[in-house]
Amino acid sequence: MIKAKGLAVIIFFAVLSHLAVVYAFPYVVVMSSYLATKDEVKVNEVYHQKPVDASFRKVVMPSPDILYSACVYDISRSDLLIEARVPKFTYWSASFYSLSTDNFFTVNDRMVGEKVTLMLTTNKSCMNEKCVVSPSERGIVIFRIFIPDKSLLPALEEFQRSIKCKEIPRS
Amino acid sequence: MKFWVSALFGILIGILTAILVINMAPDFLWIQNGVWKTSIVAGSEQADPYTRAIVAKNYLYVLNKSEAVYFIATSDSEKELDRNCDYRIVGKDLPARWWSITVYGEDNFLIDNEHKIYSVTSANVVKRGDSWEIHISREQKGENWIPLRGEGKFYLTLRLYNPESIVYERLKEIELPKIIREGCR
């Protein structure tokens, strides 16, 4: 009887801790990566990455054919205005990830004109077509520009530099 | 006292099994197409907690399926991919706006080489008609070469950006590049 009770306690805590680790793991990884890059990557500001090579160690499985920019966001106190010029001769996208690493929204060059303006918010009742509603207060927006040819890098970097992330006080 | 010993033992088992599952990335979470595997829910809001954890460890910030499909190959038809071997990847035009094949080390980062060549893409691949060959080896072998350096295993990631609908409809059957081992040292 005591053995059965002991076994039940082991199973209960094993299942509980197993699920807790699996659920918490993405949050731990994301928060660790934020902490590891906090000196370079400021919250609610855009960060431009040069084309990656083997020395790049910030995020796993980087693509050497993509020009990356990112905005780590915290919209607990303000919304985030995102603006960019979009190249029409190569792939461009802005992908929004919640704190749980879910890619909850993506827009690419085929969906927008030569300029894009978006408002990232947690306000679910935002009806403006520019609004992107984040399921979490913290997360990251990753911008990708495909490099079809290295000779196009200067032109692509101009598009990269046009990406802006700016805090907007809530009205 | 016995209760807390049992509880502690249970917690330890739970943590260890969770770490084991996240590290092993069991096959049932993947869709297999020959030697290539993919997950259609990776990166999406539909992802289950296990997929989310595995993605966070190995493939953080992947795009969801509407934007890109990622196929991973860790072996040829017989053995795990090894940096001491030479490989030929044989393929045709792929049903996507653009694609790339990239070589990664076991640490999930690019393998350092003096040429700074880590991938071949649909934009720079040299083709013969609609087909192409990519060489992954220590010594340069013709066009479309990705250098291998160091020791240990490696894996390939095939990215299909803005894939055509056939990719989603026939994920297990669409023709993907073949990985041919040509010899080992």
Radius of gyration (Cα) for chain A, nearest Å?
20
Cβ count near B161 (within 10 Å): 24
- B59: pLDDT strictly greater than 80: no
In sequence order, the 6+-apart residues with CB closer than 8 A to the CB of A100 are: A26, A27, A136, B52
| Top-level class of domain A46-169 | mainly beta
Amino acid, res. A93: S
B59 with A149: Cβ contact below 8 A: no
Does A53 touch chain B if contact means CB atoms closer than 8 Å? yes
Question: Architecture of domain B2-184 in CATH?
Answer: Sandwich (2.60)
- B181: pLDDT strictly greater than 70: yes
Digit-coded pLDDT (tens) for B117-157: 999 999 999 999 989 999 999 999 888 999 999 999 999 99
- B102: pLDDT strictly greater than 90: yes
Q: What is the pLDDT of residue B62?
A: 82
In sequence order, the 6+-apart residues with CB closer than 8 A to the CB of A133 are: A121, A122, A123, A124, A126
Buried b / exposed e along A16-47 (16+ C-beta atoms within 10 A): ebbeebbeebbbebbeebbeeeeeebeebebb
Which residue, among A74, A129, A123, A124, has the nearest Cα to A107 in the 3D structure? A129
- Given B14, B113, B116, which is nearest A18 (Cβ)? B14
B67 with A95: Cβ contact below 8 A: yes
Cβ count near A127 (within 10 Å): 6
* Residues A11, A153: Cα–Cα separation, whole Å: 56
Least-confidence region, from A33-37, A154-158, B110-114:
A33-37
- A33: pLDDT strictly greater than 60: yes
B53 with A22: Cβ contact below 8 A: yes
* Residues B2, A128: Cα–Cα separation, whole Å: 59
Mutate: best of A7, A17, A104, A133, partner B, most B CBs <10 A = A17
**Residue B123: exposed, middle, or buried by beta-carbon count in 10 A (0-12, 13-18, 19+)?**
middle
Cβ count near B62 (within 10 Å): 24
> Beta strand B68-73 with B154-163: parallel, antiparallel or unpaired?
antiparallel
- A147: pLDDT strictly greater than 90: yes
Comparison of pLDDT for B107 and A3, the residue scoring more: B107
- Proportion of chain A above pLDDT 70, given as a percent: 98
* Residues A123, A133: Cα–Cα separation, whole Å: 6
- Given B19, B61, B97, which is nearest A101 (Cβ)? B61
**Residue B66: exposed, middle, or buried by beta-carbon count in 10 A (0-12, 13-18, 19+)?**
middle
Q: How near does any CA of chain A get to the CA of B77, in Å?
A: 23
